[in-house]
Amino acid sequence: MKGGNADEMKDESWLQDLAFAAQLNDLNLKLQGKNKLITQLYDDVKCFITKLRLWKSQVSNGNLIHFHTCKELKNCTNTKSALSFTKYNSHMESLSKEFQKRFRDFSYFEQEFALFTAPFTFDVAKADESLQMELLEMQSDSLLRAKYFEGGTPDFFSYLLKRFINFRKFVTRIVAMFGSTYLCEQLYSFMKLIKTSQRTRLIDKHLFSLVKLGNAQKLQPDIPKVVKNKRCQTVGQNTKHV
């Protein structure tokens, strides 16, 4: 907006829309970032739908307790007339229906998501038959239970032994689900920063290596392996690495 026209800041209706939109941006911020499991993102979406219902009920009665920006705008001394935000009830109703429609397919996975996030409290009878015996063994294992409450998901699943083969496959399928396009967009942005017009000699092989290195989620050097491949040659009292 630098150097541009800022007449909107004097428009009461525009300020109302901005204050209302600021509240809805909360979900957008929660869905951003890396290392987000699809189960977490779905929980955020379900919570937002529930919030919309509550907000609609409260705003209908003129209650702006959860709309802090709207409340500040309404109490602003520069406002010439009393502002009413009830006009946004229809928007919240439409938004709620749209969210339920767009995320309707996820309702088919709710049981699986519940099993993934809370395996030790999940009703075994509701689990898939291929997982029931392994799930019973897990719930009876006090060591695994302690590891779960210590690290939570998904770190806990790294402690599962190979004998839990079906449950490991189930966990892998859930973890592999992409909840958003964040990582993909991050990859393209990083590649754009690497392959500039000043780096015309950069070949695909080098680009692949740089992108792989720059987007590694967890990268730690294997020191024992590096040291093992080194041969020490003693010359007098000095030690030289070759």
Rounded mean pLDDT, 184-208: 78
What does the pLDDT look like over 56-68, one tens digit per residue?
Answer: 998 888 888 888 8
pLDDT of residue 6: 66
pLDDT at 240 over 60: no
pLDDT of residue 219: 66
Residue 133's pLDDT band (cuts 50, 70, 90): very high
Q: What is the DSSP letter of 153?
A: T
User: Which structure tokens are listed for 35?
Assistant: 């290392």
Q: Of 144 and 197, which is predicted with more confidence?
A: 144
Rounded mean pLDDT, 17-28: 82
Residue 195's pLDDT band (cuts 50, 70, 90): confident
What does the pLDDT look like over 134-188, one tens digit per residue?
Answer: 999 999 999 989 988 888 888 888 888 888 999 999 999 998 887 667 777 777 7
pLDDT at 83 over 80: no
Q: How far apart are CA 77 and CA 187, in angstroms?
A: 47
pTM here is: 0.66
Segment (H or E) for 111:
helix 110-117
pLDDT at 77 over 60: no
pLDDT of residue 134: 93
Residue 233's pLDDT band (cuts 50, 70, 90): low
Segment 78-87 long-range contacts (CB within 8 Å, at least 24 positions apart) = 79/12, 80/12, 81/12, 83/12, 83/16, 85/16, 85/20, 85/59, 86/59, 86/60, 86/62
